[in-house]
Structure 1
């Protein structure tokens, strides 16, 4: 079955076939040179165990980590043993990351713990803060303690009270002191001297007191005074007299009757502060609080802020800054050319190296699902098959995330995401862009260097856009969604290779983001595996739908899997019962459903039939806009199957046979056999999304050695599907002048195929042997033996002369 978390299933026998070798799991090979781009080590210690599935999730191998060291090329690797077959293999961090991205790795236990817990730092006093008088006193005490230590003679002499007083009296006489210190003081100084070898003077200094902090009046009255002081400062021109009058108003309220009785003195007067005390309380708040209450937070921050360059983190992926902005461009759909509008661009930037590790494009004002989509892209390797020669190898699990005051970056959703994914959330002060200046500046750079140079840009403001002629086409939808993503990927790859300020040894010195990233990999802490289902649980679109013969349909997309038999074949299942279906926001071709009869079972679904090609790489927002556009064109008519999806009715007859058989629920083997048949049927009836190529279709088909390209690859950069080796839809190549050329994905493959030519193979069919005649063979042999070298040369000269070559 697919994606099991436990070994036991409702199909006891044969539910998950143990893999006899690692070759059956189709583990991706470690790429040449890929090891140098891996920023983090996985936190697997010796004895850690995890399960690895094959691509179809029908076989599993339970593995245990033996050790970690350098084995062959590609850097450090884990030595992993199959606990069932004792077969050994080696897995790199890159391979484990890809398996995790594809939902094919589930940790069972781990002995290593994540070392990111906060610990309270001790308070360290500074010797520089001591006054001159305190230093003099500390030096005096230091000499008395020093003399007592010398009198001990390295432990040979026991310090008695008599000896201590004699040593102190002699030292006081030598220094000209009026009298020697008391015995208890000398013992206390000696103890502090011995317990603080690092800074004995600081330990012997007199501690200063902060004064009497006990408030004079009743605690309930003190709270009223504090509230009245803040209320007066919030007035445009409040004074201490307003505080005095407001205290009287508060005490006159009915809820404070008991307080009035308690503060009433025997002579009938109330124990309340006098006007002079109120004036001191009114002037007591700090200057920032006064400006905050009277003029507001913006004025208080501008007046009391200090602006300075901040220190960089100790290692890459220690702190990541996230922010979004409204892009200065108008985007339309790739296929239907309807208007999307101005997109919101969300960036994830590593503060140490300045590298962009992920981004997301969305059109809702504040979209938490887009945030999770960009975070998932930032944590896993990118699918760069559409960009030959372009590298974007920056990814990983970060320790802390800096966000701003946006509601979807500060609500309970992102707090839950930080707790479940294991990163610390650092909330920036609202209206203070310097708290995450790196990503703020990068968004501006993205607008200037890329968006303002693309056709259809809106520029930074309407006033500037008016300066350009109408022929420039500013503000027109000339860029599609896919083209904008391609431009951003190519710009990010070029940005990582360009020297930038702020990430060098000094703030004004430049450094290349990619070089800083590679240099900081050695100090990276190891990462723990993350269950990819967390992203779906946090940001997936959940709806309740029924299970039909063709699967589960939500918003005109049909999802199917042979594992739905676990639900439909259950005795408690009834037609028309709705189940919770969760669809991935960033790629609506993926969906999950939880088996209510087995809560620990999660069934993974894929879009069925023609839905798969439409839904692959399409976000939920794009799909809804497509349906909305279709409804406008058809005047609100119901979306038909012929428009968006094809629902296959393939399980009705088989399910009817299942229910006709008595006692089949108790027969796990029969149900497993039927499931296998349905699985093969779905595979045979699946529609393969072929790659459209003009180069491959231009010539005749060579039936002896035909070109066999693989099926189309997913459009998403974060590709968790099983088409890792598929053919991209096209290639996006950036030219020297900054323009992007879209190339045929099979152009190079066709040239290579023609260069190799046909294979040299014998013709198939029966072989006929005909015995040769003896006489002709003997005659030919005699003729050949009579020829000499001179005869051969003469014949060659005759042929050359006949062709006109006199030489």
Structure 2
């Protein structure tokens, strides 16, 4: 009696409920359930008892539970106990090749022909050989052996119901010696060499093989004398009787058998091994727009300039928000400062509020994305994980979700968007830098940078609305991967899911954090050289609680806030009345303030300061101021009239410093007091350098050239007659003392 017949008798002897079918499972069959191995022990009532081979714990399952596990693939019969001979379990039918399947059909034809004997089927040569020979002659092939057909019958009996014709597959993978072929001391040496090869970075296999040979030599010196080498095969012994290491080719094959995960872990590091050998899963799409939004930033491959002021701002950074449900770009912001909290808030504002019609000028398609974000997925960049971002999430009602560190594939669609925008748009613009320096090496002319920030924003907006939102995206569709159009999917989902009202705009201004306390003057409020003025500020100036310094009180300071991306307006907090006053920039500054961000404004101011610093002669200013201080100090205590005259002489000298002039010849009859005369002393129609160069002179030496250049800067005073005429004694003493100190020449008035 075989196992199957015993199971039938056992089932008929049990009290099985009427009308309920039970499975026929031979006792002691080997079962695999949930990756654990069991064998069938017995059947109790309406349940089967399975014994775990690892811990001998029983598991009771009903026939319905067994059927459910088999339909889920969690109940696999690995070996069916049947007959006196048991054969190995065949492989899955999915592993059967076309050639093997044809061979299995041939075997099944002989098994099926033998089974047609019915009750007359016996394991007898006299009964089966005529049947086998007759079928072989009909198929036109050589008849298989009698014992071969018996083994096919055993395979069909044990596995035919579970594996079909795959039960006849040859088990060639079980042939041969599958254990280690080398002695243990060679295996240990190879293992030492492999560990050295993996542990040392950039270690070659040839160098690691030297460690194998050294390990064999040390083993032979320490343990070799106690070994009975006469029992070892000759291939393990050298001519001098020493132990032979395994060949280098054997060591190389062992190294090649190391799995890629282990090799990358030791050679390149655990993070590289995890990224290079990981598998990916596709997540389901959210059910509604703005349920899940991901954000990231990148530096654009194009240089932006300021066309009006000649400034080169460099490569801007962009922060992009993408809706996962529809693959629509919810919003973006472009700035020149490093990605920061301010640029994040500007992009978030653009994503939450409806897009301004002015920003969509020249765009054919709509940009309908707006609403409150439920979950915002950020990476681990510093400008996305700070306390400010968490505070913004709490204030705006957004759940901030952090992705695992160094895992860009978690937002691969957004990374792909940056790649598409760079290749499809930015690399075609003038002033592009391409993706890296190696790519720029092959291009001699990439165009001069002429693109301004408003032009760049307009080009990117048009590309997003008219190109990216209108193309087929594979991540969409009835099933992910089929593909659909983002704008079409947005319209379908937005019609079913209304959006909540966006937050108050003051909330974004308060979150920006750019605030100061300043006083309010009659001409308004000045902040970074931009003046803001509004008639509503008169309410503050006329309020009795407003303090004025001219009245002997402390000037009242008010809290002022501004948006770093909108300098055309500031918000003044009137703490007296508990209200917010919107103050625009004055007419002289409004156009400028509305066209720049805070970072651009600071770059422009720095450039303007640099230009002024280069055009002003600092040394000349310092020298003039020093002379002025010295003169004022000497004039202290003198008569007012004398002071006025000497100050007049000083101012006249300063005027001559400022204006290039030449000597004017004045008749002696028109001579008058040098300091008190009202006659014109200088003629500015021709510069001094031109006057000197017009006179025929011999070639000038280097010293003479330096004197002429100095004369072009310094002022030449003329003698207008006697300087002592009409002067009092005190005035003459003062004048002589001043001339002596300045070392003036009476003839031409120059310093000597």
TM-score normalized with structure 2 length = 0.45
Determine which structure has greater relative contact order: mean sequence separation of CA pairs < 8 Å that are 6+ residues apart, divided by chain length. Answer: 1
| Larger proportion of helix | 2
TM-score, normalising length: structure 1: 0.42
**Larger-Rg structure:** 2
